[in-house]
Amino acid sequence: MPPRRAASLSRVPAPDTDAEAPTPGLAARDTAPTAGAAHAHAVGVETAQRWRNLLCVGLMALIAGMCALPAGPSFNPGKPYQYLLVLTLYLPALILGFSRFERWRELARRPLMPWLMALFVWSTISLAWTNASRPLDEILRTLSVLVFLFAWMHGVGADPRRQRGMLVTGAGVLAVTAVAAMIRFAVQPPPDGRVIGFGVMANANLIAAAMGAGFLWLWPWRFQARWQRLLKWLAMAAMVACLVLADSRSAWAALFGAVFVLLAIRRNERAWQRLLGLGVVALGVAAAAYPELSERGWSFRPQIMQYAWALFEQHPWLGLGQGARFTIPVQGGMGMDQVHTHNLFTQVAVEIGLPGLLLWSIVWLGLGWRAWRHRDDAIGRVVLALWVFASVMVQFDLPHLIDSPRPGWLIIWLPLALSLSLPAASTGPPRTR
C-alpha cells in the first residue's frame, strides 16, 4: 500500500508557481461553499451512521424479542414485541430510507429483488378477492418483510464484522433461550413430552426452526481463543439438544441435510471423515428412535396435501387471496381441522395462485443457486445452510410466507437478507473469516 500511495502522489502535477495568485477575498468566497458542503456531507454521513447503528439494535431486538417477549393468539407477536420493533427497527429504517430515496432503489436493484417485488405486488393485488378479516394487516405484514430486508442491507450490509457480530450474538441469544427452555422442560414436562420455547416460540416446531437456524449461524465461523471455541461448541450443543427434545422430525431431517451439505462442500479428507461419522450417527439415532417415530406416522400430511391440491384446483390462477381463511378437515385420531396446508409451497399456491407460486419459486431457487456459487465465502455458506434447512422443513411445517416476525423469518427471510451483500458473481478468493 505505501509504495502505491507514493506513486499516485508522484503523478499529481506540481503547482504552477508562475500562475497569478488569486485575490484573498475571492479565494475565501470560493472555498467557503466547498468547506460548508464538506461539513454538511460529514454531518449527513455521521447521522446516517447513527441510524444504521440503531437498525442493528432493532435487528437484534427482532431476534431477542422472539425468544422472550409474550405472544398473542396463534403465536403471533404480542403488542410489546410489535411496539419494540416499531421504535427500534421499522421507524429508523423508514426515516433512513425516505431521507434518501436512492437507498430504496439500491435495494430494488439487488439480485432477485425485482422478482420478490413482483411477488409482493401480486400478493397485495390478491387482497381484492381475499376473505381475510383484516386485509390491512396483510399489507402491514408485506411491508414489515420489505422493511426488514432494507434494514439488514443498510444496517449490516457487506460489513464482515457486523455480519459476524449479528449472527454470533443472535446465536448466543438463541443458545441461552435453549438452556432456559430445557430447564423449564425438566421442571415442568409438557403433556406431549416436547420442549417448547417462550413467546412466539412457544411451539415445538417453531423453537426447533429457531434452534436449527442458530446452530447454522455459528457453524462457519472460526475463533482463535480457546474459550471462544469452547463457548461456540457449548452453544451449538445446547441448540441441538433443544431441537432434539422438540421432537420435530422435519427439523431433524432439515438439520441433517444442512450439516451434510456444509461438510460435503469442504472437499478435504477430514471433512469426509466427519461426513461418514455424521451418517453413522444419523443411522444410529434413526434406528433407536424408529419405534417412537413410526408411532406418530405421517401426521395426516398426505391427507392434508390432497385437500390442499383440491383447493388449488378450484382457483389455480388467482388463488384465494393473501391471508385467506380456509379449513382442511382431517379425519382420524387427531380430530382437529387444519387452517393451513403444513407446506409452504402449497400454502402459497392456495393463497396467491400459480403466478405467486412461480414468482416465489424463482426467488427461492435463485437464492439457492447464488448461495451455492458463493459457498467458499462464510456468508455464502450460512445462506446455503439455511436454504437447505428451510427447503426441507417447510415441506412439513412453517407454511406461511408473508407473515409477522416469527421463527420462520430466521430461515426464510434472513438468508435472503444475507444474500443481498453477496456480489452478483463469485469472483476472487474467499473472504477472510
Mean pLDDT score across all residues of the chain: 86
pLDDT for res 40: 61
Joined together, the cell numbers standing for residue 349 give 399456491
DSSP3 helix / strand / coil % (the chain, rounded to 5)? 70, 0, 30
Q: How distant, in Å, are the alpha carbons of 69, 161, 166, 206 from that of 386?
A: 24, 20, 16, 15
Q: pLDDT for 16-41, tens place per residue?
A: 434 444 444 444 444 455 666 665 66
Band the pLDDT of 91: cuts 50, 70, 90.
very high
The whole-angstrom separation of Cα 259 and Cα 215 is: 10
The whole-angstrom separation of Cα 249 and Cα 252 is: 5
Joined together, the cell numbers standing for residue 94 give 423508514
First to last CA, the chain: 22
Which residues is 328 bridged to in the sheet? 338
Joined together, the cell numbers standing for residue 229 give 471455541
Number of C-beta neighbours around residue 53 at 10 A: 13
pLDDT for res 117: 97
Q: pLDDT for 373-432, tens place per residue?
A: 999 999 999 999 999 999 999 999 999 999 999 999 999 999 999 999 998 865 444 444
Half-sphere exposure of 183 (CA within 13 A, CB side): 7
pTM: 0.87
